[in-house]
Amino acid sequence: LDLTAAMVIIALAVSGVLTPAQAVAGFGNPLVLLIAGLFVVSEGLYRTGVAAWVGMKIANAASRSEVRLLLLLMPVVAVLSGIMSSTGVVALFVPVVLSLAREAGIPAARLLLPVAIASLIGGMLTLIGTPPNLVASRALVDAGLPGFGFFDFTLIGGVILLVSMLFVLVLGR
């Protein structure tokens, strides 16, 4: 996708549809820089072993209980998704979850789907949780209105996370 996007920008500049200044103007946008920074943070958490460490702590605390695993996994994944890419969080936790499921004798799908749900909901917890939050905030600022604060989404996102966890634990299993 990145290569395709770069090729489209180059093609538009070479064909004269865009001037060279227009073609690279987006790279100076603070929103683009912030999203790029989020990817750097995500990679840092991965490379430093933070996610693996969290996974081991969850494994030790939950032992072999599916309910305890879900009660620990879902909020941890959601909170991490609130500060880094949800795709990155899921990618980090897939091996951890597969290992936890194998050790607990639980089918992996019973843990993987709730982790995916929690990851998506985690984007609702903070301003940087998902790029659309940042885009909406920037659109407000561009319209002369105050943008969203970092935790403006947290209350509603937290309620949605709790309701989703309840659903997964009571009906979703």
Give me the pLDDT at residue 42, please: 67
State percent of the chain over pLDDT 90.
39
* Chain segment 33-70, per-residue pLDDT in tens: 766 776 777 677 778 877 678 777 887 887 778 898 99
49-53, 73-77, 112-116, range with the lowest pLDDT: 49-53
Calpha distance 69→72 (Å, rounded): 5
Query: What's the pTM?
Result: 0.72
Cβ-contact 80, 125 below 8 angstroms: no
Phi/psi of residue 152, nearest 5 degrees: -60, -25
CA atoms within 13 A on the CB side of 24: 3
Give the dihedral of Cα atoms 69, 72, 73, 76; nearest 10 deg: -170
Question: Which one is predicted more confidently, 92 or 166?
Answer: 166
Pick from 49, 8, 46: nearest CA to 26: 8
pLDDT at residue 166 is higher than 90:
yes
Residue 31: band (very low, low, confident or very high) from pLDDT cuts 50, 70, 90: low
Give me the pLDDT at residue 95, please: 80
pLDDT at residue 128 is higher than 70:
yes
Q: What letter represents residue 86's amino acid?
A: S
pLDDT at residue 18 is higher than 80:
yes
Calpha distance 66→64 (Å, rounded): 6
